[in-house]
Structure 1
């Protein structure tokens, strides 16, 4: 399984970070580059523990669908979304929000594996991990901008 760990500092409290990270409209705004949209499940407002949503987006030139469930939540410090159905063998994304002087340390731990067995492990390490790291960094930068503009 491949693993991506990202961290950023945001100058707002954890509660604001947590709420925005679970907001459907904020998610869509942070993924404009892939044309993401909701095709099933909550299409607006806040996601919560147990919610299942299917996103459709263009990644690597291919329109794909990914269904995820909010499988763990400890507001305002952590939540996890996990793939229920999609192109990966496994996909798990943990979001952590830690209060620190001056704001919040936001950490993402994104674990995934492609369904291609041995070949997939090489593909994950050589290509997919870089692509997903860039995607997550761009998404986080948009969320950070939104949070800090609205404080």
Structure 2
């Protein structure tokens, strides 16, 4: 069995809690905060512009070497203006649990992402994580800290 890894990313945004929640709780905005070279596309039809518990979201993306991957997540928990959780149901990870937390602070909103993930294939997955997966995920969250301000304000 491979290890479980954790990523934590914190970003402060000079917007209202309502603005932050409205943007991040719309699944269609995911493609705006994912690097273009990953070919990220939301495939499922949205039912409204807000997430809800039980919602299934399907994507395609090209995370490595231009190879297209199918990914399905389920929104498992939602507390409006506070947090939501998405969990992979089908895709490249053997575990993907992503928490999105929002907290009003003086001058804006603090958003915290916490991801727990596991890569299949035991020690080979652990090796892949140390060679490229972790770096790719770190780059993704770094990209998001740079692009989100342009999307929100």
| TM-score, normalization by structure 2 | 0.88
User: Any gaps of 5 or more consecutive residues in structure 2?
Assistant: none
Closer, same or farther: CA 94–28 of 1 in aligned 2, 3 Å: same
Q: Distance in 1 between matches of 2:80 and 2:47?
A: 21
Closer, same or farther: CA 23–33 of 1 in aligned 2, 3 Å: farther
- Equivalenced residues, count: 148
User: Pairwise CA RMSD of aligned residues?
Assistant: 1.7
Query: Please, which of 12, 15, 28 is the counterpart of residue 25 of structure 1?
Result: 28
Q: Which moved more, 1:21-30 or 1:111-120?
A: 21-30
Secondary structure in 2 matching 1:112: strand
CA drift of 1:73 comes to 0.8
CA drift of 1:60 comes to 0.9
Could you list the per-position Cα deviations for residues 92-142 of structure 1 after superposition, in whole angstroms to 9, with x for gaps in the alignment?
Answer: 110011111000111111111111112212322342111111112213432
Could you list the per-position Cα deviations for residues 53-105 of structure 1 after superposition, in whole angstroms to 9, with x for gaps in the alignment?
Answer: 11001111221111000111111011010001111100011001111100011
Does structure 1 residue 37 correspond to structure 2 residue 37? no
Q: Distance in 2 between matches of 1:71 and 1:37?
A: 21
Does structure 1 residue 143 correspond to structure 2 residue 151? no
Asked whether the equivalents of residues 37 and 56 of structure 1 are also in contact (C-alpha less than 8 Å), the reply is: yes
Counterpart in the other structure of 1:85 = 90
| TM-score, normalization by structure 1 | 0.89
Query: Please, which of 120, 125, 140 is the counterpart of residue 115 of structure 1?
Result: 120
